[in-house]
Homo-oligomer: A and B are copies of this chain.
Amino acid sequence: MSSTNKTEIIASDKAPSIVIIREFDAPRERVFRAWTDPELYAQWVGPRSVSTKITKWSVRTGGEWAFTNIRDGEEIASFFGSFHEVRAPERVVWTFTWEGEPDGVSLETMTFEELDGGRTRITTLSVAESFEIRDQILASGMEVGVIEGYEKLDEILARSA
């Protein structure tokens, strides 16, 4: 695996946002498909300690999505939102709410960029409604889920290379 495949997570001090940058050793179309195909997405998203059950997935501009995380046979967290825009193969914008905080909503923009050598960079800009909420998200253990999820995505992309 390339040594540049580390997950970079940046919390801006200028805006209530989180930027996540990660490169993958696979072409953009395959990486984009892993984000949008519900069977693939459910395999890699989230930390290694949970599995994911997708309950709604209408991956198109204006569609809806929802999934549940399961640990040791128990549903431990549910999430939902809407796909503001799906612009294949370069961009997905969606809203994101964790049902444990039903009034909290983030707007997330995922940009998929082609790199040399058949590789891809995903940049996620996640905007919360206040610095307080953004900092709560950072303190929630989100980082482990992102890092481990992306490692699982590496494994999937390597499987069918």
B64 contacts A63, C-beta separation under 8 Å? yes
Q: How many copies does the complex hold?
A: 2
- Give, as a whole number of angstroms, the nearest-CB distance from A121 to chain B: 17
| A interface: dominant SS | strand
A42-50, A81-89, A148-156: which lies at the B interface? Answer: A81-89
Residues of B within 8 A of A129 (CB): 15, 17, 107, 109, 125, 127
Residue interface mask A60-85, B partner, CB < 8 A = 1: 01111110000000000000111111
A85 contacts B97, C-beta separation under 8 Å? yes
Give the one of A14, A15, A16 with max B CB within 10 A.
Answer: A15
- Scan residues 116-140 of chain A and give those whose CB is less than 8 A from a CB of chain B: 125, 127, 129-131
